[in-house]
Amino acid sequence: MRSETAQASEDAVRALQLEKLRGGLRQVLKSNPFWRGRLHDVTGWDDFERLPMTAKAELLADQAANAPFGTNLTFPLEDYTRLHQTSGSSGDQPLRWLDTHQSWAWWLHIWADHVYQAAGVTPADRVFFAFSFGPFIGFWSAFGGAERLGAMAISGGAMTTEQRIRNLRDVGATVLLATPTYALRMADKAQELHLDLASSDIRLTIHAGEPGASIPSTRSAIEAAYMAVSFDHTGMTELGPTGHSCTQRDGIHLIESEFIFEVVDTKGRPALEGELVATNLGRWGSPLFRYRTGDHVSLSREQCSCGSSFVKVVGGIRGRVDDMFTVRGVNLYPSQVEDIVRRHSAVREFVLERRAVKHMDEVVLVVEMAEADAPTDRLEADLRQALGVRISCRVVPVGTLPPGELKAKRIVNAP
Ligand SMILES: [Zn+2]
CA 300 / ligand 1 centre spacing (Å):
11
| Same domain? 219 vs 111 | yes
Bridge partners of residue 393, in order along the sequence: 365
Axis-axis angle for helices 101-110, 137-149 (nearest 10): 70
Task: Count structural domains, the chain.
Answer: 2
| Same domain? 369 vs 221 | no
Of 293, 320, 347, which residue is a domain's last?
A: 320
201 Cβ partners below 8 Å, 6+ apart? 126, 169, 172, 173, 174
| Same domain? 147 vs 183 | yes
| Same domain? 237 vs 365 | no
Q: Return the CA Rg of the chain.
A: 22
CA 277 / ligand 1 centre spacing (Å):
21
Q: What is the mean pLDDT of residues 301-328?
A: 90
CA 371 / ligand 1 centre spacing (Å):
41
9-39 tens-digit pLDDT: 889 999 999 999 999 999 999 999 999 999 9
- How far, in Å, are 53, 79, 109, 264 from residue 101 at the CA level? 27, 8, 12, 33
| Same domain? 128 vs 167 | yes
CA 310 / ligand 1 centre spacing (Å):
8
CA 367 / ligand 1 centre spacing (Å):
34
Q: Name the H helices within 92-210.
A: 101-110, 116-119, 137-149, 161-170, 180-192
| Same domain? 338 vs 276 | no
Nearest partner of 86 among 61, 56, 55, 112, judged by Cα: 56
* First-residue to last-residue Cα distance in the chain: 50
294 CB-contact burial (10 Å; exposed 0-12 / middle 13-18 / buried 19+): middle
| Same domain? 243 vs 278 | yes
The DSSP output letter for 223 is H
Sequence length of the chain is 415
CA 280 / ligand 1 centre spacing (Å):
21
CA 89 / ligand 1 centre spacing (Å):
30
Average pLDDT of the chain is 93
CA 339 / ligand 1 centre spacing (Å):
21
Give the pLDDT score at 88. Answer: 73
Of 300, 320, 340, which residue is a domain's last?
A: 320
122-133 residues labelled b (16+ CB within 10 A) or e (exposed): eeebbbbbbbee
CA 65 / ligand 1 centre spacing (Å):
43
Neighbours of 363 (CB within 10 A): 21
CA 285 / ligand 1 centre spacing (Å):
31
Give kind and range of the element (H or E) at residue 204: strand 204-207
The whole-angstrom distance between residue 206's C-alpha and the CA centroid of its chain comes to 11
CA 38 / ligand 1 centre spacing (Å):
36
CA 23 / ligand 1 centre spacing (Å):
29
Of 320, 341, 357, which residue is a domain's last?
A: 320
The CATH number given to whatever domain includes residue 50 is 3.40.50.12780
| Same domain? 56 vs 144 | yes
Q: Mean pLDDT check: name the lowest of 254-258, 356-360, 366-370.
A: 356-360
Q: Report the C-alpha gap between 225 and 183 in whole angstroms.
A: 9
CA 301 / ligand 1 centre spacing (Å):
11
Give the pLDDT score at 328. Answer: 82
CA 246 / ligand 1 centre spacing (Å):
5
| Same domain? 161 vs 271 | yes
| Same domain? 295 vs 356 | no
CA 15 / ligand 1 centre spacing (Å):
22
Q: What percent of the chain has pLDDT over 70?
A: 98
The CATH number given to whatever domain includes residue 346 is 3.30.300.30
pLDDT band at 1 (very low <50, low <70, confident <90, very high): low
CA 69 / ligand 1 centre spacing (Å):
38
302-314 residues labelled b (16+ CB within 10 A) or e (exposed): ebbeeebbbbbbb
| Same domain? 129 vs 205 | yes
344-360 residues labelled b (16+ CB within 10 A) or e (exposed): beebbbbbbebeeeeee
pLDDT band at 404 (very low <50, low <70, confident <90, very high): low
**Can you give the pTM of this predicted structure?**
0.91
Q: Report the C-alpha gap between 69 and 84 in whole angstroms.
A: 11
CA 306 / ligand 1 centre spacing (Å):
4
CA 376 / ligand 1 centre spacing (Å):
37
| Same domain? 246 vs 361 | no
141-160 tens-digit pLDDT: 999 999 999 999 999 999 99
Q: Which domain holds residue 367?
A: 324-413
Neighbours of 59 (CB within 10 A): 23
